[in-house]
Amino acid sequence: MCGIIGYKGRSNAIPLVIHGLKNLEYRGYDSSGIAYFNNGKINIYKKEGKIVNLESILPNDNSNLAIGHTRWATHGVANTINAHPHRQGKITLVHNGIIENYRELKEMLESNGYQFVSDTDTEIVAGLIDYYYNIEKDMVKALSHLRLIVRGSFALGILVDGDDHLYATRLKSPLIVGIGDDGLFIASDVPAILDYTKKYFLLDDYDICVIGDDYKVYNKKKLVNKEVLTFNDSIGSAQKDGYEHFMLKEIHEQPRVVENLISLILNTDTIKLSDYDNIQIVGCGSAYHTGLVGKYIIEKYLNIKTECFIASEYRYGKIFNTGKTLFVAISQSGETADTLASTIIAKEKGMHTLGIINTQGSSIARECDEVLYINAGIECAVATTKAYSLQALMFSLLVYKEIKDNNILEEYNKLPKELEKLLDKDYHNIVKKLYRHEDIFFIGRQNDYALCMEGSLKLKEISYLHSEAYAAGELKHGTISLIEEGTPVIAIVTDPNIAEKTISNIKETKARGAYVLLIIREDIEVNSDVYDDIIKVPNYSIFTNSLLVIEVLQMIAYYVALSRGCDIDKPRNLAKSVTVE
Ligand code: M6R
C-alpha cells in the first residue's frame, strides 16, 4: 500500500529518500512524490506512475530534510495531482491511511477560506494542521488536535515552512523512526531504511515525533521514552540475490525457513490449543487460507471446534464467545486493517487473542495477548509464499506438540529436503499447457480444497488468469457446465480416505474434455486415464503435505505469470500490506 520515508540529517536527503521509496516499491503504488527543503523553501515534485518518472523531473538539488511517498490510490484516481506530498498554507505532508470524516472537515476548512486542488483526503489533513498551527503557533499543539477531530487512520510525515524539523504522527497506520549514524528517518516500513540503519523505534497511536538534530516524542503533550529496537534480519532479505523475481527467491527460501521454524517451535514453550473449548481463526486472502488449513488439522487431531473467518466479514458479523474461546489473528504484515479491527473486537468480547504474525512489533502483534512469530524474514513479493507456508506450518506444529507422534517428527525432519526436491521439477512442460487459457479450475476436498483456494488465488493475482477453486463434490451442482474441451482442471488428492471420491469428480471433468493436471500423494493409486499430467508428492500426512502441495502450486502460478509476461512481484492494483478497509 502507500509508503512513507522521511530524513533529516547530514547527508543529502533527496537520493536517500528516493532510494528508500524504491525499497518500498514492493508494497504496490501508482504515483510517487518528494518534498524537500532547499534554500529556505520547500520544493515539491510528484509524478504518476513509477518512481523513475519522478526521478526524471527532479533537479540536481541538495537538502538535509525531505519526505517522500508512494501512493496507492484510495480517494481520487491515480494521477499527479492526487500524488503526495500535499500542501496547504505552511504545511506540506505525506499520508498513509484514510480519513473517514474528511467531508465534514473539508466543509469546515472551506468555510474558513481553504481551497483544495486534489480529490484526496490527505490535502484536508494538511489544511487541518495548517488551521491549528495558525492558532497554536506550535506544531506539537497543532498536531494534538488530530486526536480530537480526525476519524480514520493516518501515518503522517510533515514539513513546515520556515522550520527545519521533521514531524511525524500516527493513528492505526504503521510508522517507525530510524536512528542512523548521519541522521534520523521516518518510515512506514522497515525495508525503506534498512540500507541506512537497523536501529529504530515504533510510534504508538497519537505519538508526535519531532526530529531535529535529535528526536523527541510526545503523547498527550507529554514527553515519552521509546524503546530502541534492532531489526534482526539481514539487508539481503530485501534483495533478489540473483533470482529474477522476489517471488521466486521467496519460494526457494522455503526449505530453510521451514527448517528454522520447526526447530524454533519444537524447542519453545507455546500456547496449548486444547486449553480452549473452541477456536476462531481470522485473516484475509492467503492468511485466511492458512486458517482453513489450521481448522482442518485442529479439528481432526484435537477435536476442538474451529471456525475460520474472512476478517472483513467477521468484524461486521455476529460474534459468539461461547465457553473458553481462543481467537487467532493471522497476518504476514501484521497491519491488515480488517484483521486488526477483528482482533480488537475479539478482545472486547473477552477472548484470548493469539497472533500468528511475521512482522515484529506490527500493530496486530501489539494488539494480541500473545504472538507467535513465523520468522519468514522480509517478504517483498506482493504474492505471499513463504509466509503462507510458515503460517500453515505453525498450526501443524502447535497440534503436533499436543499429540507427539514420532512419524510426524520424522516428516518434519525430512520436509526441508522434500521441499527442495520439488523446486527442481520441470514445471515448464506443464505450464505451457496452461498459460494461454483464460479460465482454470482447482478442485479438491477438505484440506485439499483449502489448498486449491490458495493455489487459485496465487494464480489469479500474479497471472491475471481467471481461476476458481471448487470443493470437488460441488462441481456438478453448477460449475461443471463451464468445463469444455481443453479446459484446465488442477486436481489435488492427498487424503487416502476421500481420494476415491475426488478421483470420481476428476473423471467427470475428464469425460467433458478437461485437461487434468493431477497433484497426488504418491501412495494413492490412480489409473493413467484420469489425468493428462501428474505431479506426485511424498507420502506424508496433513501435518506436512500442505506445504509440499502449495509449493508446487506456487511454482505453477509463478511460471504461468512469467509466460504471460506479467509484473510478477508487483501485480496491478494490489498492495503488499492492506492497511485500509
Ligand atoms: O499481511 P496479511 O497476511 O494480513 O495480508 C493478507 C492478505 O492481504 C494477503 O495474504 C494477500 O491475499 C496476498 N496478496 C496473497 O498473496
Q: Residue 284 C-alpha to ligand 1 middle, in angstroms?
A: 6
* Tens-digit pLDDT profile for residues 156-176: 999 999 999 999 999 988 899
Whether 459 lines ligand 1, by a CB cut-off of 6 Å, is: no
Closest by Cα among 207, 197, 196 to 140: 207
Helix axes 285-302, 386-403, angle to 10 degrees: 10
Integer Cα distance of 530 and 532 in angstroms: 7
Q: Which atom of ligand 1 is nearest to the CA of 575?
A: 14
The pLDDT value given to residue 362? 87
Q: Which atom of ligand 1 is nearest to the CA of 382?
A: 14
The type of residue at 405 is: D
Whether 285 lines ligand 1, by a CB cut-off of 6 Å, is: yes
The pLDDT value given to residue 236? 54
Integer Cα distance of 163 and 160 in angstroms: 5
Whether 384 lines ligand 1, by a CB cut-off of 6 Å, is: yes
Closest by Cα among 553, 531, 437 to 484: 437
The pLDDT value given to residue 528? 95
Which residues, including other chains, have CB under 8 Å from residue 185's CB and lie 6 or more apart? 5, 6, 7, 20, 177, 178, 179, 192, 193, 196, 197, 200
Name the pairing type of β-strands 222-223 and 215-219: antiparallel
Matching residue, cell 489425468: 531
The pLDDT value given to residue 437? 94
Residue 296, CA distances (Å) to 14, 454, 461 in order:
51, 15, 25
Rg (CA), the chain: 25
Residues in a beta bridge with 27? none
C-alpha cell at 45: 515534485
Considering only the C-alpha atoms of the chain, give the largest distance between any 2 of them, rounded to a whole number of Å: 80
Residue 253, CA distances (Å) to 265, 339, 547, 564 in order:
18, 26, 13, 24
Which residues, including other chains, have CB under 8 Å from residue 244's CB and lie 6 or more apart? 562
The pLDDT value given to residue 476? 87
Q: Residue 250 C-alpha to ligand 1 middle, in angstroms?
A: 15
Q: Residue 331 C-alpha to ligand 1 middle, in angstroms?
A: 7
Whether 336 lines ligand 1, by a CB cut-off of 6 Å, is: yes
DSSP label of 476: G
Closest by Cα among 1, 3, 5 to 197: 5
Q: Which atom of ligand 1 is nearest to the CA of 286?
A: 10
Identify whether the C-beta of residue 299 lies closer than 8 Å to the C-beta of residue 315: no
Residue of the CA atom closest to atom 4 of ligand 1: 331
74: alpha, beta or left, given left = phi > 0 and alpha = psi -120 to 50? alpha
Q: Residue 283 C-alpha to ligand 1 middle, in angstroms?
A: 8
Helix, strand, coil percentages, rounded to 5, for the chain? 40, 25, 35
Integer Cα distance of 525 and 521 in angstroms: 9
SS3 at position 390: helix
Whether 284 lines ligand 1, by a CB cut-off of 6 Å, is: yes
Q: Which atom of ligand 1 is nearest to the CA of 387?
A: 3
Integer Cα distance of 413 and 479 in angstroms: 40
Residue of the CA atom closest to atom 11 of ligand 1: 285
For a substitution probing ligand 1, which of 72, 284, 310, 328 has the most ligand atoms within 8 Å of its CB?
A: 284
The pLDDT value given to residue 571? 87
Q: Residue 46 C-alpha to ligand 1 middle, in angstroms?
A: 28
- In this prediction the pTM is 0.83
The pLDDT value given to residue 478? 87
Active site residues: 2, 576
Whether 390 lines ligand 1, by a CB cut-off of 6 Å, is: no
Whether 333 lines ligand 1, by a CB cut-off of 6 Å, is: yes
Residues 292, 295, 297, 303, Cα dihedral to 10°? -160
Q: Residue 317 C-alpha to ligand 1 middle, in angstroms?
A: 21
The pLDDT value given to residue 5? 97
Name the pairing type of β-strands 199-202 and 222-223: unpaired
Matching residue, cell 487431531: 301
Whether 456 lines ligand 1, by a CB cut-off of 6 Å, is: no
Whether 142 lines ligand 1, by a CB cut-off of 6 Å, is: no
Long-range contacts at 177-183 (CB < 8 A, ≥ 24 apart): 177/201, 177/203, 177/209, 177/211, 177/215, 177/217, 177/226, 179/215, 179/228, 180/9, 182/9, 182/10, 182/11, 183/7, 183/8, 183/9, 183/10, 183/11, 183/13, 183/64
pLDDT < 50: residue spans in the chain: none
